[in-house]
Amino acid sequence: MPTCRFCLAIYPREFFIIGFGPKKDVCQRCGIKEGLIEESEAVMLFDAGLASSRLTLLSRRWAPILWILALWGMWIVILSSIPTWGIFSLVVLIIVSLVLPINMILNRAKYSALFSGLTPAHQRPPGH
């Protein structure tokens, strides 16, 4: 994947300006900052609402894993010493820890479809 000359970020090819000379290897965000293109020409530039939607979707996807890690830490620190609740919570944590990866694998297509719906449409020009 190419690297932008100005910000040195690595993006897929569709995030770059198409052209030669000063436009070569410049991402659309830097192209707007440098005045090489207008904002209307930057089809892959996300507005604030779209970026927020993508971040929300990403956080909904990965939040359960962080919750499970936090609950395991709480079980190790607090609940393991309590006889009845420690065993009950251990069984529940084991079941949830085994079901969560299966659930994430089964819902991968759904999240991919939602992400593609939140990605601007882009037609690659010939030769890219």
Give me the number of domains the chain comprises.
2
pTM: 0.60
| Domain-embedded: residue 55 | yes
Question: What phi and psi values does residue 33 have, to the nearest 5 degrees?
Answer: -65, -40
Per-residue model confidence (pLDDT) at position 127: 61
Per-residue confidence band for 95, with pLDDT thresholds at 50, 70 and 90 = very high
If asked whether residues 74 and 110 sit together in one domain, one would say: yes
Per-residue confidence band for 67, with pLDDT thresholds at 50, 70 and 90 = very high
Amino acid found at 11: Y
Show the tokens assigned to 53: 């939607």
If asked whether residues 36 and 53 sit together in one domain, one would say: no
E strands within the chain? Answer: none
